[in-house]
Chain A
Amino acid sequence: MADPVYTDVGVDIALEPDARLMLQVRDGDTQSFELLLGKHRLPVVSYLSRMVQNQAVGEELAQEVFLRVYKARASYEPSAKFTTWLYRIATHLALNSIRDRKREKNQRSLDEAPEEAQQLQVADRRSNREQELLAKVRLDAVREAIASLPEKQRAAVLMHKYEELDYAQIASALGTSVSAVKSLLFRAYETLRGKLTGLSRNYKTRAN
């Protein structure tokens, strides 16, 4: 039976395995840190890469997330689920990075073509199979639609759909209420349905 933990909100929760590992990291156990890294590496990298729409930047940010986890080990208290805490750090870094990149983009020349668009053009020229191309276009449409969402809606959708976090966890990661998260998700999915469901049917028809 897991040890009960009394949180700062007065609710007792079972001490989850990740929190237990983190407490061991706090006590200087480096193997526990390796286990946490191994378990959360892929979801954190995926979340951040999708948030910033760039794998390399996503990985850089994910490395920073794990560094922050390590740095905060001494003061770690299991008052919330470890995953929630992890995504709170990740979301904070992602939102900061998006804002920084926006500022940089504004300073750059408008004539400059985005890196990803250039890659797409190269890929288009090389690809000769229609199915692959359609799949890629469809994927790009998904990425573009998600990228066009306001930052908090984007974060909420990514955590909800891909990382399977519940409303309370998303609320904690975003520093908002559960009802606000429901509202964010409702609006985000509404936008995405409008942009992607019709396209999906078109691509499917063309692919068949």
Chain B
Amino acid sequence: MTREQVLERILDPSGPPSNTEQRQAFDAWLERDSELKEMYQEQQELFSVMDDWRPAEPSVGFDRGVYNRIAAYEAKLNWFERWFGGFRPAMAGAVAMLLVGIATVVVQRDQPVSTPEPAVVLVSAEDEQYLREIDLALDDIEMLADFDAFPLNEAAEGRS
């Protein structure tokens, strides 16, 4: 047992150690250290004097006072806190589930109706030029058709 431990025991309201071995060590310290011995005796005397100050029983209306305070506190709460204030874990779970439900509904509502995506056609500049030529050629044929298929026959005759 160290001197510090002996000091702690001296200041302990429960008194000297109950363990035989520790008690012997404690007593041995007091025997060889007169300062500690005097302190121990004075501390025991002090505890005895302090014991005279006994606790007074709370008044009869003490509990009523507590419950009145609780009632006044609850009266101030709004309906939400009053209903859920005492059940925060359950409330947290319920709120979480509600939020998940709302989020699910919102996500589902915002999603567009699934329609087949149109085929993507990539057109290069060359292709565009080619298509324009075809377009012009078709226009020419249409225009020439108004002249009663002449060019093809005349051209054939002229060339020959």
B39 to chain A, nearest CB (A): 8
Closest to A190 in B: B39
Kindly state whether residue B34 has any CB partner on chain A within 8 Å.
no
Known contacts A49-B55, A67-B69, A200-B49; is A74 also within 8 Å of B88 by CB?
yes
From the candidates B57, B86, B87, name the one contacting A42 in the complex (CB within 8 A): B57
Known contacts A74-B85, A160-B13; is A59 also within 8 Å of B58 by CB?
yes
From the candidates A46, A71, A142, name the one contacting B56 in the complex (CB within 8 A): A46
The B interface is mostly helix, strand or loop, or mixed, namely: helix
A207 to chain B, nearest CB (A): 12
* Count class of interface residues, chain B: 20 to 34
From the candidates A62, A67, A139, A185, name the one contacting B70 in the complex (CB within 8 A): A67
CA distance A135 to B39 in the complex (A): 24
CA distance A164 to B55 in the complex (A): 14
From the candidates A59, A75, A185, name the one contacting B65 in the complex (CB within 8 A): A59
- The answer to whether B13 and A164 touch across the interface, beta carbons within 8 angstroms, is yes
CA distance A46 to B58 in the complex (A): 8
* Count class of interface residues, chain A: 35 or more
Kindly state whether residue B7 has any CB partner on chain A within 8 Å.
yes
| Stretch in B40-48, B104-112, B130-138 with 4+ CB within 8 Å of A | B40-48
Contacts of A186 in B (CB 8 A): 7, 11
From the candidates A60, A143, A164, A201, name the one contacting B53 in the complex (CB within 8 A): A143
- The answer to whether B11 and A45 touch across the interface, beta carbons within 8 angstroms, is no
CA distance A63 to B87 in the complex (A): 23
A99 to chain B, nearest CB (A): 22
Other A-B contacts than A46-B55, A59-B59, 20 sampled, CB-CB below 8 A, are A28-B87, A41-B62, A42-B55, A42-B58, A45-B58, A49-B56, A50-B53, A59-B58, A59-B65, A63-B62, A67-B70, A75-B88, A139-B53, A142-B52, A161-B13, A185-B11, A193-B46, A196-B45, A197-B42, A197-B46
7 tightest A-B contacts by CB? Answer: A46-B55, A74-B88, A67-B69, A45-B58, A28-B86, A200-B49, A66-B66
Residues on B lying within 8 angstroms of A by beta carbon are: 7-8, 11, 13-14, 39, 42-43, 45-50, 52-53, 55-59, 62-63, 65-66, 69-70, 73, 85-89
